[in-house]
């Protein structure tokens, strides 16, 4: 994508800052972030930064493309305060898209979630039935429905990207997230420090771990191709937490055993396994994940050399 004016909400956060910095090479990029899970330290100087909420009036929405990534992005954040979660994730989405639409923006790419697929070891296609067990999942599914409204009623292209388990490591833009960072980042930092990574249950749960660089490329492809509808961004491969610990130990030259604890999240809502079916995105744009898992692990561990 080149020569566009672009707004990235949540753009000082983990995924948002990686996207904003990549786009800023060839585009005029504006970021909105309220500073809750983001920091302007993640952003390159070329990015224009506004510390404000997606609930605000008069957002800088005079853009060609809107990437809406701003969200309260975890189960815990929503269960602590469901009303605020709904306001930020649903009202904030509608507020931002509506302002952008009124300013003439016709291309929107936004973050949804793979959590609504529930626990599945088989690859999950976009057209399978989905369910909501948490406030976080409800807010993301509500986004998808409002996106359908904006697409059908106003002819705005609305690409909803169901992210799987996105990682980069504390050497990238995840460091500020702390306990909300991907487990790969947390486990790597523990092992590098000689501390036992804490695994819920027996460590057999699996995730489709997708490197943030592949996610950024997917988001760009979605905008360039003016996609409309729902698309998975994942690799189609899944690894257990036990395997993650094993590979991190191998890469770091360590031998740290994990600590297994009772899962504090109820079994009825905990997503034990995820795996993407990325074929729809591949067929629509040619996108393929490029960073193989062991290479991703190597990149996470680079900072500890």
pLDDT tens-place string over residues 146-160? 999 999 999 999 999
Q: Which residue intervals of the chain bear CATH 3.90.25.10?
A: 169-206+238-275+291-304
| pLDDT for residue 225 | 97
| pLDDT for residue 266 | 86
Bridge partners (DSSP) of residue 160 are 110, 230
How many distinct helices (H) and strands (E) make up the chain? 10, 13
Q: Is 201 exposed, middle or buried (0-12, 13-18, 19+ CB in 10 A)?
A: middle
Q: Confidence band (pLDDT; 50, 70, 90) for 10?
A: very high
Closest residue by Cα to residue 145 from 105, 93, 95: 93
| pLDDT for residue 282 | 98
The vertex-92 CA angle with 89 and 98, nearest 5°, equals 130
Distance of CA 44 to the CA centre of its chain: 20
Bridge partners (DSSP) of residue 66 are 7, 108
pLDDT average, residue stretch 43-68: 97
Evaluate if residue 174 carries a pLDDT over 90. Answer: no
Alpha-carbon span 131 to 212, nearest angstrom: 26
3-state secondary structure of 260: strand
The structure tokens listed for 278 are: 């990325």
Evaluate if residue 223 carries a pLDDT over 90. Answer: yes
- The domain made up of 5-166+211-235+278-285 has a fold known as Rossmann fold (3.40.50)
Residue 228 phi, psi dihedral angles, 5° rounding: -135, 135
Evaluate if residue 77 carries a pLDDT over 90. Answer: no
Q: What DSSP string describes 215-234? A: HHHHHHHHHHTT--EEEEES
pTM: 0.96
Q: Which residue intervals of the chain bear CATH 3.40.50.720?
A: 5-166+211-235+278-285
For residue 185, give Cα distances in angstroms to 179, 182, 191: 10, 6, 10
Residue 51 phi, psi dihedral angles, 5° rounding: -85, 95
What residues are annotated to the active site?
136
Alpha-carbon span 303 to 96, nearest angstrom: 37
**CATH architecture of the domain formed by 169-206+238-275+291-304:** Alpha-Beta Complex (3.90)
């Amino acid at each position: 994508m080149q020569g566009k004016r672009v707004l990235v909400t949540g753009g000082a956060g983990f995924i948002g800052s990686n996207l904003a910095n990549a786009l800023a090479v060839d585009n005029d990029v504006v970021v909105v972030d309220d500073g809750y899970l983001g920091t302007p330290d993640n952003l390159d100087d070329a990015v224009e930064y506004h510390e404000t909420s997606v609930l605000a009036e008069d957002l800088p929405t005079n853009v060609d493309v809107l990437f809406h990534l701003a969200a309260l992005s975890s189960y815990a954040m929503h269960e602590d305060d469901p009303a605020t979660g709904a306001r930020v994730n649903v009202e904030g989405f509608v507020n931002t898209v509506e302002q952008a639409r009124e300013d003439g923006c016709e291309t929107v790419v936004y973050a949804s979630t793979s959590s609504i697929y529930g626990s599945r070891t088989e690859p999950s296609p976009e057209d399978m039935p989905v369910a909501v067990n948490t406030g976080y999942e409800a807010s993301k599914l509500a986004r998808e429905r409002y996106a359908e409204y904006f697409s059908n009623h106003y002819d705005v292209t609305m690409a909803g990207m169901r992210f799987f388990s996105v990682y980069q490591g504390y050497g990238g833009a995840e460091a500020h997230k702390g306990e909300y960072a991907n487990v790969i980042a947390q486990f790597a930092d523990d092992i590098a420090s000689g501390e036992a990574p804490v695994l819920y249950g027996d460590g057999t749960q699996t995730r489709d771990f997708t490197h943030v660089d592949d996610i950024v490329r997917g988001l760009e492809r979605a905008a360039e191709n003016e996609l409309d509808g729902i698309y998975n961004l994942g690799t189609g491969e899944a690894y257990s937490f036990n395997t993650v610990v094993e590979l991190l130990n191998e890469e770091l030259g360590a031998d740290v055993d994990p600590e297994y604890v009772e899962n504090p999240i109820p079994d009825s809502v905990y997503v034990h396994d995820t795996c993407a079916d990325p074929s729809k995105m591949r067929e629509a744009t040619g996108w393929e994940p490029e960073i193989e898992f062991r290479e991703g692990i190597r990149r996470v561990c680079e900072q500890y050399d």
